[in-house]
Amino acid sequence: MGAKTGLLVYMDPASSGPLRLPAEVDPERTAELVGRLYPGWEVAESARCELGDATYPPDGTAYLGSFPGVDIVCDRHWVGDYPSRLPQHLIDASAGRRLVVHWMHSVVDFLAFAVWEDGQLVRSLSLSPDSGVMENIGEPLPFEAPFWAGEHPVEPVPGWPAKGPYPLPFHPLDLGEEALRFFFGFVLEGMPEPEDMDPYEVVLLGFRLADPDGPTPEEKEAAMRAIISRMGPPRMFTYGPDGTMVEVEGL
């Protein structure tokens, strides 16, 4: 699985649940949305993008779309381990509406999602195999029940150098796909169901955004180089004749 998300979706009460969106985004309302969520930021229009490809934009880029009853924001800038710590102005923008955040990263099997109703947090979950359950607020939602009940265990890959059983009762990305379907009515990976929306039929507007109080591009690059310098050498694996994973030597 390789899906990643940095989604914030605002929905009117009548629109809560699987999204049913018109094909055309409202440019004027989308521009107003950008102004509300990014006050004081430097903003420049960029290329449009289909929702299916827009869920985790490059750093400094965001894709937004305002539709009747629904506002969609795709921006990795807001992603963090604790959804409950979402900046207050983003929560305030949900007054009288439902706000759902969905953050997922396939490289580290990370998933977080949260729901606010009229500005009040009612559910937040954040977890990964390395960090465990980082946040678990409110009652689990219906789609979560089979996962917590152990009905979706992670089966070990034969020969993979695992350090014991998977540390969670399910794979976060599997739950993440079900969360996408439950909240928004589409999936990014796996088999779509007949009633699912096609995220590639929804086009969002693109924006280049710069936080005047954030780090400069040079500071971001230096931080990334520091992270890379602390990483160990890469390891590559392939399937052996018997179907088990075998490490490729001599890299």
pTM for the full predicted model: 0.84
Mean pLDDT of 95-112: 95
Residue 188 pLDDT: 94
How confident is the model at residue 231, as a pLDDT? 59
- pLDDT 10s digits, 139-154: 999 999 999 999 999 8
The per-residue pLDDT for 97 is 95
pLDDT-above-90 percentage for the chain = 69
Q: What's the pLDDT tens digit per position in 56-85?
A: 999 999 999 999 999 999 999 999 999 999
| Between residues 69 and 249, the one the model is more confident about | 69
DSSP state string for the chain: ---EEEEEEEE-GGG-SS----SS--HHHHHHHHHHHSTT-EEEEEEEEEHHHHSSPPTTEEEEEEETTEEEEE-GGG--S-GGGS-HHHHHTTTTSEEEEEEEEGGGTEEEEEEEETTEEEEEEEEETTTEEEEEESPPPGGGHHHHTTSSPPPPPTT----SS-SSSS-HHHHHHHHHHHHHS--SSSPPPTT---GGG-EEEEEEEE-TTS--HHHHHHHHHHHHHTS----EEEE-TTS-EEEEP--
Residue-wise pLDDT for 132-188, tens only, equals 999 999 999 999 999 999 999 988 766 655 567 888 999 999 999 999 999 999 999
- The predicted structure's pLDDT at residue 251: 54
Residue-averaged pLDDT of the chain: 88
Q: What is the pLDDT of residues 24-56, one digit of tens each?
A: 899 999 999 999 999 999 999 999 999 999 999
Of residues 231 and 247, which shows the higher confidence score?
A: 247
What's the pLDDT at 202? Answer: 93
- What is residue 156's predicted lDDT score, i.e. its pLDDT? 75
